[in-house]
Amino acid sequence: MITALAGGVGAARLLRGMVEIMAPGDITAVVNVGDDTDLHGLHICPDLDTVLYTLADAINPETGWGLAGETWRVMESLQKLGGVTWFNLGDQDLATHCYRTQRLAEGATLGTVTAELAERFGVGVRLLPVTDDPLRTRLLLAGGDEVAFQEYFVKLHHQVAVREVRFAGAGNARPGPGVLEAIAAADTVVVCPSNPVVSIDPVVAVSGVAGALTARREQVVAVSPIVAGAALKGPADRLLVEMGFESSVVGVARWYAPWVSTLVIDEADAALAPSVEAEGVRCVVAPTIMSDVKRSAALAQVVLDAGS
């Protein structure tokens, strides 16, 4: 049994590889919801959807988010109306948000709706939002403004300096049903190669999760999202530096060290393995670039081996 802490694209690809080498039903993904946003009245869960669509082999392969064969009729019309279009939502993707929002309005929890969507998309991996409660990643910018995650990530293209990251609601957010149990029961807990600062940290910020991870530290294996000093995607490199950490696998190791015992780093960073171990984290060197499903599966195998 594997439990994975997951953000968006990197997590989705590792999970997609994992279902090549083990039964989907033996995998639980605990997914970040700090990126969630409400727009046009719709409740949008970018990380959950990226994981969902990727596992369903329905992801848009060019963007890494959204659905393949997507059309943009609604957004085209909304643009003509002068509506909010900086957060691009395809027509098929909108159906997911309509479904989710309606079910939430009917009183279903996010966890229940996510399970329903996973079933409809034919995804056998158990997808758990880390919490059913509101939890929103917010960024205090160097300029003094505080913005929601998607505003930072999409609207501002994360091209702004960040002073502080906050998880609004984390103090009251309870772990979703099954989350703590999945961490406690897993043979290996996998920290997917997601942004430590804004994808994994909001998961860990939910009450009880950090303790559950610390209790399983020996079984927790992380994959570095930083390769050769840079994030493969997104602002993880810059955010680590802004939080006072190195933008390197050593910075990642230090960030995760309290509750991670093993870090998988890319071959490009092999020379840094001793520095990773100096942080008190076992180091495994392997190819980590998941450019196709075969490579994702190979990395998943490395992670499983590292955990056993």
Among 27, 48, 110, 117, binds a second copy (CB under 8 A): 117
As measured in angstroms, the least distance from the Cβ of 43 to a second copy is 7
Q: Which is nearer to a second copy, 26 or 91 (CB)?
A: 91
**Strand pairing partners for 222?**
191, 263
**CB half-sphere exposure, 141, CA atoms < 13 A:** 15
Q: Which is nearer to a second copy, 77 or 172 (CB)?
A: 77
**What are the CA-CA distances from residue 6 to residues 43, 90, 154, 278 (Å)?**
19, 23, 19, 26
Helices (H) and strands (E) in the chain, counts: 13, 14
**What are the CA-CA distances from residue 10 to residues 99, 215, 232 (Å)?**
25, 25, 9
Using the CB atoms, write b or e for 154-171: b if 16+ within 10 Å: eeeebebebeebebbbbe
Contact stretch for a second copy (CB under 8 A) within 116-124, 199-207, 227-235, 291-299:
116-124
How far apart CA 197 and CA 105 sit, in angstroms, is 31
Among 21, 57, 88, 105, binds a second copy (CB under 8 A): 105
Tokens of residue 208, six digits = 């009880």
Indicate left, alpha or beta for 244 from its phi (over 0: left) and psi (-120 to 50: alpha): left
Among 94, 148, 173, 264, binds a second copy (CB under 8 A): 94
Return the percent helix, strand and coil in the chain, to nearest 5: 45, 20, 35
Among 95, 185, 270, 278, binds a second copy (CB under 8 A): 95
Is residue 80 at the binding interface for a second copy, with CB under 8 A as the rule?
yes
Q: Which is nearer to a second copy, 77 or 214 (CB)?
A: 77
Is residue 155 at the binding interface for a second copy, with CB under 8 A as the rule?
no
Contact stretch for a second copy (CB under 8 A) within 96-104, 125-133, 191-199, 209-217:
96-104
Tokens of residue 153, six digits = 């990530």
Contact stretch for a second copy (CB under 8 A) within 24-32, 83-91, 283-291, 294-302:
83-91
Contact at 8 Å (CB) between 36 and 153?
no
Each residue 38-77 as x (binds a second copy by CB under 8 A) or -, in order, gives xxxxxx---------------------------x-xxxxx
As measured in angstroms, the least distance from the Cβ of 78 to a second copy is 4
Count of residues that bind a second copy according to CB under 8 A:
33
Contact stretch for a second copy (CB under 8 A) within 84-92, 153-161, 201-209, 285-293:
84-92
As measured in angstroms, the least distance from the Cβ of 85 to a second copy is 10
- Which spans of this chain sit near a second copy (rule: CB under 8 A)? 38-43, 71, 73-78, 80-84, 91-92, 94-99, 101-102, 104-105, 116-117, 120
